Amino acid sequence: MKREEIKPYLIEKLKAENCLWSYDQSSIKDIDDDVLIELVMIYLDIEEINMLFQLFSKKKVKEAWLRNVVAQGERYYNLNRFFAWYYFDVKNPPRYIKSMATRMLNKKSVA
C-alpha cells in the first residue's frame, strides 16, 4: 500500500469498528495524528499497527503511545507490555511501563 493510502485506510478500518462514532463525519479525515495512533494501537490488529510505522516515524508512534495509551495505566497493561517488547525493544517492559505511566501522569498533573 502506498504511504498516502494508509491514513484513509486506517480511518475506514476505525469507522468499521465503530471507534469514531463521536466524530463529525466531515472532520474525520482531519483526525489528529496522536489520536489516530492511539485508536489504531488500542482497537485494530497488528497489520494495521504495523502500518503506523510506514506512515509515521518510530519516534512519533512511541511518543503518542506513551502520552495516550501508557498514560491510561492499568487499563491497557498487557497491551502496553506487548508494545514495549515487540515494537520498542524495551528490556524490562513491566518496569518501563510503570515508570512511564507515572511520568506521563505527573506531566498531566503539572500542566
Mean per-residue pLDDT pooled into runs of 10, the chain (111 residues): 93 91 78 95 97 97 95 91 96 94 77 57
Rounded distance between C-alpha atoms, residue 11 and residue 6, angstroms? 9
Give pTM, 2 decimals. Answer: 0.89
The pLDDT value recorded for residue 20 is 85
Answer for the pair 61, 69: CB distance below 8 angstroms, yes or no: no
Rounded distance between C-alpha atoms, residue 88 and residue 52, angstroms? 13
Burial pattern 49-61, b for ≥16 Cβ within 10 A else e, equals bebbeebbeeeeb
Answer for the pair 41, 83: CB distance below 8 angstroms, yes or no: yes
The pLDDT value recorded for residue 63 is 95
The pLDDT value recorded for residue 110 is 63
The pLDDT value recorded for residue 109 is 66
The pLDDT value recorded for residue 16 is 92
